[in-house]
Structure 1
Amino acid sequence: MRELKYYNAKSTIDYYDDVVKSKSVTKKDPDYHTRLGFLKGDIAKLFSTYEEKFLTNKLEELVSFGYSGVQKTDLHKLYRYKSKALQNLKTLLTTAGNNRIISTCQNCTISEINSFDHYVPQEKYAEFVINPHNLIPSCTICNGFKSDEWITDNKRQFLNLYLDSLPRHQYLFVTVKVENFNMITAKFQLSNKNKIANDKYALIYSHYDKLNLLERFSENIDMVVTPLVNTVKSYLSKLSFDDIKESQMEKIEKDKIAFGFNNWKSILEESLLNSKEFIDSIILNNI
């Protein structure tokens, strides 16, 4: 998991205008643009309020304008994930500083990005349906778990990777077991043993819990196990295990810098390399 850069190519209301202009007038609904034009004044004010709360990281203070009926439907029509405007936005937001594309959903770091998460839910806040600061590249699995739940007792329940800084201290841990020398299981858990600020840790815990991340990590451990086994096996005839481990640990530290200090793959790989059972299983050629 890593922090993401937010949209700053132009103002958010200018982006809204661009999306509106991209919508074609149809014979079936020739008055669509006219109706949107009537909403523009209020939308501009609402975007300004969103910007104020966004820049101070207080989105939980937003109050829904309460659009309903035709107006709500008209606003929702602006959002089409496959549209050119939104695909261009996705490319802009997922292009890292090294000009490489981040293709993995950073809410989970498991699945491919194939949607946008409306951080402030579009069902209640139709006014922000195409506010680029409200659109976070995501996967449909995370979106399904998140649904419209985002705030409880005036506290946000999910990390906002545009706004929330991620701790450099470890909070994600894993227990690895090897049974019968070839059956590997991994149980992930969260712990605040490194004394992260209570509010930040509570937000992290809620994010992981509500997106079912610990279970999803455990279900996907072969993404790490098989490549690591193959790497160790390929070098065992040339290097000692200690040399292989030292090299892999250096790689893990670089991965943590690139992908996040609590990236589940790095945490798992580190734990496997420190597991005598795992290493013995490779040496005995049982894995």
Structure 2
Amino acid sequence: MKKLTAPAFQELDIFDACADEMDNGARTIFTASRLDIQAAAYAFSAQSGTQAWCHLPRARHGHREDIIAGGLSKGDLMDLYDKGVIGSKGRPRDIHDQILVAAQGQCPYCAGIGTARTLDHYLPKAKFPALSVHPHNLVPACRDCNTDAGAGFPAAPELQPIHPYLDKDCFFLERWVYAEVIRCEPVAIRFFANPPGHWPAVDQQRARQHFADCGLKDRFSSQVAGEISPLILQRKSSLAVFSSAQFKAHLHVVAADHHLLLNGWKRTMYLALYENDWFCSADFNGNWLAS
């Protein structure tokens, strides 16, 4: 939904920084397992080339005692993030905070509706523990998107959520979120996913699935009232001198604003208003629903 620049940190920077803060015994075990963590990072990179992360090997549900990489168990690697990164007062936490701040507070999964206050494991650490501190697996997210993602990850390519760092440009540069104006009191907007027909079927389904999984139909709609009510008030007052064509042009200014996300709620809403002849011609005085 919103493209983010991938963190500039190397694959094992956080892993190594965590190891540096451990006591000698734990550091020895983690250092001895480093090549296996590196192999998992290589596999992640390989699948990122085709956006096929769902094909990576998964850990069993539960079973924290299962050995995942070298001498490290699933529990060790999950705790590496919770204790070694979140609980750190040194470089691991500093890297975490740099990744979080880079989103400038906007959650990329929901196109900035939510405030990014946490890092989401795109591939959940419970399923992919060897990637628990891989910088490209840590994505700034709002609590709603992070919570909705849960601890699972789809097994089919067409159900994978959009990756803000590593996914295809089409998800960010082509329009696939649309809206329609509902002629009622108050005016409502219905948002929906409609990916371009020239996209591969797997990408079309991924877009629809991401839209559904993040609850964007309702979350986008919840933003409308605070924007459209003042707009209608302006149309009835300071913009009342505008002809329908002039009001349409006024709406187009926002609809064409490249500073707004192409598939974000605000630009999508203004595009729908601009394209709706009834909304452009209504003066919103008297019996405007029948006009």
| Interval containing the TM-score (normalised by the shorter chain) | 0.7 to 0.9
| Structure 2 length-normalised TM | 0.77
Deviation by residue 1:180-234 (Cα, 9 ceiling, x = unmatched): xx42222222235654332211110111112221122223322432453465467
Show the 5 A alignment for 1:143-162: 143-153=146-156, 155-162=158-165
Distance 1:209 1:58 in 2: 20
2:99 aligned with 1:89, yes or no? yes
2:110 aligned partner, one-letter code? C
Distance 1:238 1:191 in 2: 36
Query: Please, which of 83, 86, 96 is the counterpart of residue 80 of structure 1?
Result: 86
Distance 2:248 2:6 in 1: 37
Number of residue pairs matched? 269
Distance 1:225 1:81 in 2: 44
Partner of 1:265: 266
2:126 aligned partner, one-letter code? E
Distance 1:192 1:86 in 2: 34
2:127 aligned with 1:128, yes or no? no
Distance 2:145 2:36 in 1: 31
1:49 aligned partner, one-letter code? A
Query: Please, which of 46, 57, 67 is the counterpart of residue 52 of structure 1?
Result: 46
The structural deviation recorded for 1:114 is 1.4
Query: Please, which of 266, 275, 278 is the counterpart of residue 276 of structure 1?
Result: 278
The structural deviation recorded for 1:169 is 4.6
The structural deviation recorded for 1:154 is 5.1
2:263 aligned partner, one-letter code? N
Show the 5 A alignment for 1:165-244: 165-167=169-171, 168-179=173-184, 182-192=185-195, 194-229=197-232, 232=235, 235-236=238-239, 239-240=242-243, 242-244=245-247
Partner of 2:16: 17
2:158 aligned with 1:164, yes or no? no
Query: Please, which of 87, 103, 106 is the counterpart of residue 104 of structure 1?
Result: 106
RMSD (Å), alpha carbons: 3.2
1:263 aligned partner, one-letter code? G
**Contact in 1 for aligned 2:4/2:164 (Cα 8 Å):** yes
Query: Please, which of 14, 18, 41 is the counterpart of residue 35 of structure 2?
Result: 41
- Cα distance 1:285–1:278, how it changes in 2: closer, same or farther (>3 A)? farther
| Structure 1 length-normalised TM | 0.78
Unaligned 5+ runs, structure 2: 60-66
- Cα distance 1:230–1:43, how it changes in 2: closer, same or farther (>3 A)? farther
Distance 1:20 1:282 in 2: 65
Distance 1:175 1:251 in 2: 16
Distance 1:275 1:149 in 2: 44
Distance 1:212 1:131 in 2: 27
Report SS of the residue matched to 1:202.
helix
Identical aligned residues as a percent: 19
Unaligned 5+ runs, structure 1: 95-100
**Contact in 2 for aligned 1:78/1:129 (Cα 8 Å):** no
**Contact in 2 for aligned 1:16/1:130 (Cα 8 Å):** yes
2:251 aligned with 1:248, yes or no? yes
The structural deviation recorded for 1:38 is 3.4
Partner of 1:138: 141
Distance 1:146 1:184 in 2: 32
The structural deviation recorded for 1:145 is 1.5
Deviation by residue 1:108-151 (Cα, 9 ceiling, x = unmatched): 12111111221111111111111011111111101221112322
- Cα distance 1:69–1:134, how it changes in 2: closer, same or farther (>3 A)? closer
Distance 1:244 1:194 in 2: 32
- Cα distance 1:35–1:237, how it changes in 2: closer, same or farther (>3 A)? same
Report SS of the residue matched to 2:144.
helix
Report SS of the residue matched to 2:256.
helix
**Contact in 2 for aligned 1:81/1:116 (Cα 8 Å):** no
Report SS of the residue matched to 1:249.
helix
- Cα distance 1:69–1:205, how it changes in 2: closer, same or farther (>3 A)? closer
Distance 2:33 2:237 in 1: 63
